[in-house]
Amino acid sequence: MSKVIETLTESVRGRVMTASDPDYDDARAVHNAMQDRKPRAIVHCVDSADVMAAVAASRDFGLDLAIRGGGHSVPGFGTVDDGLVIDLSPMRGVRVDPAKRVARVGGGATLGDVDHATYPFGLAAPGGVVSTTGAGGLTLGGGIGYLTRSVGLSIDNLLSADVVLADGRQVTASDYQNEDLFWALRGGGGNFGVVTSFEFQLHEVGDVVGGPLFYEFDDATAVLECFRSYLSEAPEELGCFFAWQIAPPLPFIPRHRVGNLFCVLVTCWNGPHEQAERVLRPLRDAAEVKADGVDVMSFPALQSAFDDLVPKGMQYYWKADFATEVTDEAIAAHVEHGEKTPNVNSSMHLQLINGAAQRVGADETAFGHRDKTFVPLILGIWPDPADNEANTKWVRDYYAAIHPYSGSEGGYINFMSGDDDHRVPANYGANYQRLAAVKAAYDPENLFHINQNIPPAVGS
Ligand SMILES: Cc1cc2nc3c(=O)[nH]c(=O)nc-3n(C[C@H](O)[C@H](O)[C@H](O)COP(=O)(O)OP(=O)(O)OC[C@H]3O[C@@H](n4cnc5c(N)ncnc54)[C@H](O)[C@@H]3O)c2cc1C
């Protein structure tokens, strides 16, 4: 046994796995099967003490360190060849304080874990649109989802975080202590330390009126025009994103239309149910709705409704932007490339970061793109590595066609792929220099570098 494995085995309570373990291959697999890496050891941390020991071992033995929350990072930031992985999946407990409307969430919890714990109290923390995503990685990059328009990004609802730093200490970051660290954590990704627990403000969310509306592909221009105008002014309790979707066999899809390409508006109305018909009417009037999946459902049911379309073990290649508007030219480009959507798993999601998310100042958190409204995300997802070239080409061609109309170089750090490194400064926007200064204060040796990396500012 090597010295580092011996040290880890002696100092942590969780399991330390190496290539000699029979289930090593399962343990090293992340969501994106393209990221097939072989860590020296995977440390399943059960508490902050384990995390501190793993951070110390990485530092003392000079090993690259990856932090894994939910493992969803498309560039594979939750794993590393020949280094250490801090796997936080044993730390996924969620404690809800219904009186204060606050949840304490373990660093390795998924959005599904958070929803499961908060729903019985009629509460939710804003997350994304897929329940298997890690709350950790999603939150540290921003967190865009069904509730963004009404209560903001996930970071806008973060009250504090416990963080194990590069020097091995655990500190709490909030508006009242380590304020610079707290600022940086809210949008700066995994650059600053290992967050062992998050404290979130919760909101009243119980059963919502939501689900997908399917329209003919030929009506896409009308549907996109309606989406861009109506969702700029609609009540903020309405969350919505546009998507291409090859129809899977769902109960509300006519049998003979399964396999056809549609455009879809996925809705989430978290207001009074009796107002849902009125609020959704403009969307239903955008064009003829060919299949209607909107219903009253629990928020956890909506947040897990599309999990099967994005399973672990597929090939993932994405490209994304922020955009201030969706021009007519952009719509034409979307339609041209959307028509070539290669399979049932792949899509383009046009998400929204307006409403409450835009009422936070660009320098209040590290997420600087508060003037943007739209987040176009082209998702290439396919099962067979033999199809890598064709699928990545579809994503790249699509992106090249829409990017000139985005009006922004930066994109959402959580939607980047492995070949997007050159975009890092633009992704952090005007906050990049300040982030580099905070990095220099908390991680001067850049121990936490397997991420959308911010090198420490020299001379800070
Ligand atoms: C199928 C799918 C659906 C998605 N849907 C959405 C969505 O609706 N909205 C949205 O905003 N994003 C979404 N994303 C993007 C998602 O936010 C990012 O992939 C995010 O990085 C995932 O976090 P994770 O913890 O699962 O990933 P991991 O791969 O485990 O980690 C990703 C990064 O976050 C860091 N990290 C994770 N946890 C911690 C922690 N506790 N402390 C410190 N660093 C940590 C890691 O070091 C790494 O750099 C989706 C991704 C996928 C694959």
pLDDT tens profile 162-182: 999 999 999 999 999 999 999
% of the chain surpassing 70 pLDDT? 100
User: What does the pLDDT average to over 365-393?
Assistant: 97
- Identify the pLDDT of residue 131: 98
Classified as helix, coil or strand, 242 is strand
- Cβ atoms of residues 377 and 320 within 8 Å: yes
- Tokens 């610079």 sit on residue: 180
- Identify the pLDDT of residue 206: 87
Can you tell me the distance from the alpha carbon of 200 to that of 397, in angstroms, rounded to the nearest whole number?
A: 39
- Cβ atoms of residues 187 and 451 within 8 Å: no
Can you tell me the distance from the alpha carbon of 251 to that of 241, in angstroms, rounded to the nearest whole number?
A: 21
**pLDDT band at residue 460, thresholds of 50, 70 and 90?**
low
User: What is the distance in A from the centroid of ligand 1 to the CA of 251?
Assistant: 31
Can you tell me the distance from the alpha carbon of 428 to that of 436, in angstroms, rounded to the nearest whole number?
A: 10
Residues with CB under 6 A from ligand 1: 31, 67-74, 77-78, 88, 107, 128-130, 133-134, 136-138, 140-141, 143-145, 189-190, 194-195, 310, 414, 451
Pairing of strands 41-44, 16-17: antiparallel
- Identify the pLDDT of residue 250: 92
- Identify the pLDDT of residue 409: 87
% of the chain surpassing 90 pLDDT? 98
Residue 31 CA: nearest ligand 1 atom is: 53
Can you tell me the distance from the alpha carbon of 252 to that of 144, in angstroms, rounded to the nearest whole number?
A: 27
pLDDT tens profile 125-159: 999 999 999 999 999 999 999 999 999 999 999 99
Testing ligand 1's pocket by substitution, the residue of 138, 381, 449 carrying the most ligand atoms inside 8 A of its CB is 138
Can you tell me the distance from the alpha carbon of 338 to that of 340, in angstroms, rounded to the nearest whole number?
A: 5
